[in-house]
Structure 1
Amino acid sequence: MVPRCKSSDSGGSGILLLCLIHKLNFIIAGHYISPFHDIPLKVDSQENLFNMIVEVPRWTNAKMEIATEEPLNPIKQDVKNGKLRYVANIFPHKGYIWNYGALPQTWEDPHRKDESTDCCGDNDPIDVCEIGSKVLSRGEVVHVKILGILALIDQGETDWKLIAINMNDPEASKFHDIDDVRKYKPGYLEATLNWFRFYKIPEGKPENQFAFNGEFKNKAFALEVIKSTHECWKSLLMKKCDGGPINCTNVQVCDSPFHCSQEEARSLVESVRGRCPRHPLIL
């Protein structure tokens, strides 16, 4: 199975995706990049407009994510015990109930205890649930407005879930904060809470828990969390903290000790490229 992508009209990012089996590499201006490290967090320094990398389109089940431990961090389908992973359908829904992805240049530090949740981070970029009306494509980079945040506690780790909307969504102008989601999409936040609470039960795992008794925090709170995770990412890229197996190879952050040349980046991808079918597709 080869991941499928289609053209996007959601921001003109000019990013080319190289689709391998269960894997997507990112190319910009003809050169390989890391979506985790090289795509900017913010859009033109605007206060509440961020780049979101779409990992999982709405209503799909394949558990795709940025491969944080691989060179240049392609989007890859998760594998457990030699089998590709999929999320179960949580009645009455099909797959993920939003477009799901992550903010680049953020990192939830597993060695740093969050003051508000009293738990350390989950060692990943911060997750985003995009609630717009359009089903987005895997690998799209879209500009989103942040509306709020939910604090999932997963096996003792903080796993923040941002609530956001694509700025190009027809209804985006209505949404400014978390209360607007309650007003214009009644029941969506409750469905989101229940989805995250129950989605691991079919795997034989217990219900997930939440900080703040499952309360969704507002935009101002969410922006502070983003700021904190961005600072953690900076420390990671500057080798000021222990990143463990996280692969920090990048081509855009020139003052990072993990910076590599465009030629080195290409060699990293080419070393595995010949072993997999590939289909380059333009976003």
Structure 2
Amino acid sequence: MMRSAVKCAASVRLPALSVKSQPQVRLTACRQQLRPSRAAFSVKAVAATAQSYGKTEKGEPNSFDFRIFIQEKGQDISTWHDIPLYLENGLLSFICEIPKETSAKMEVATDEEGTPIKQDTKKGKLRFYPYNINVNYGLLPQTWEDPAHKAEELDGVAGDNDPVDVVEIGSETLAMGGVYPVKPLAVLAMIDDGELDWKVACIKADDPKAASVNDVEDVEREFPGLLDDIRVWFRDYKKPDGKPENKFGFDDQWQNKEYTLKVISETHGFYNSLKSGKRENTEELSLV
């Protein structure tokens, strides 16, 4: 999804990792072994960001009508449009759609006014993953993977028409609809049904491990095997439905923080073009 003028940053090659058939078991075991870092990490400058947002639920959970609207000062705001992407100290806003250890496939409804969080549907049924996801999963606001843009460094695959996805790897189970400051760490180029679907790995800014991880190699050191387990989860989650494995660019490798920031900047630019009207809204997305 990067513009042709943007060259691929040097890929980070992780050592070969042994992956079992059920990565979710390994992820849980990995988390049980984590110990808090002694290093302090100050997030005073952005602490108010997460605390300033509330949420309201409309409809019954596990129903087609269920929606979560994020609120600011008691008023509903757009999940996609009204929360800033960039915060102070290099942090980003992360909106949690799917808390870890849950399976309901929640997502921001980019085609509905206010872009609330809802449960995805397929063939008239609410969608669930075949097994729990073992990280907090959500999106970066004010980003967009433009389906009209072809990433030359990934054989011309185009964007999936969604905001950029995030996997938050911290120790806490976050709230559905919660807004959190996070540190970006790495990015994975997933190819899903021929569409580019970036996955950005982040960690909540006040997580006990946050001070110890700043780039992809730090994640491998502090959370050994975790990134590959996440990749395998995304590779395999459609297989129980009889679908083929998802593919990945860059030889299945997570890319470093420098490249991650380029992806985020690029998709933020696509979003700004869409929101401003410079890029025609041919997908009929909600821009309010």
TM-score range, shorter chain: 0.7 to 0.9
8 Å CA contact retained: 1:10, 1:143: no
Structure 2 residue aligned with 1:13, among 51, 60, 74?
51
**Correspondence 1:56 to 2:98:** yes
**Correspondence 1:88 to 2:130:** yes
Tell me the CA shift for residue 242 of structure 1.
2.8
Which residue does 1:246 correspond to in 2?
Answer: 285
Q: 2:48 & 2:120 partners in 1: Cα distance? A: 27
Q: Which amino acid aligns with 1:190?
A: D
8 Å CA contact retained: 2:94, 2:179: yes
| CA deviation string 1:226-261 (max 9, x = no partner) | 000000000010111133121101xxxxxxxxxxxx
Structure 2 unaligned segments of length 5 or more: list them.
Answer: 1-46, 60-65
| CA deviation string 1:101-129 (max 9, x = no partner) | 00000000000112322211000000000
- Count of residue pairs brought into register by the alignment: 234
**Correspondence 1:103 to 2:140:** yes
Structure-2-length-normalised TM-score: 0.79
**Correspondence 1:165 to 2:235:** no
Tell me the CA shift for residue 86 of structure 1.
0.3
Structure-1-length-normalised TM-score: 0.80
Q: Which amino acid aligns with 2:285?
A: I
Q: 1:54 & 1:237 partners in 2: Cα distance? A: 22
Structure 1 unaligned segments of length 5 or more: list them.
Answer: 1-8, 90-94, 250-283
Identity within the alignment, %: 44
Q: Which amino acid aligns with 1:28?
A: E
Where does 1:181-200 land on structure 2 (aligned, <5 Å)? 181-200=219-238
8 Å CA contact retained: 2:50, 2:178: no
Tell me the CA shift for residue 16 of structure 1.
2.1
Q: Which amino acid aligns with 2:239?
A: I
Q: 1:12 & 1:238 partners in 2: Cα distance? A: 26
Which residue does 1:113 correspond to in 2?
Answer: 150
Which residue does 1:125 correspond to in 2?
Answer: 163
**Correspondence 1:72 to 2:114:** yes
- Cα–Cα, structure 1 residues 238 and 42, in superposed 2: closer, same or farther, change >3 Å? same
Q: 1:25 & 1:10 partners in 2: Cα distance? A: 19
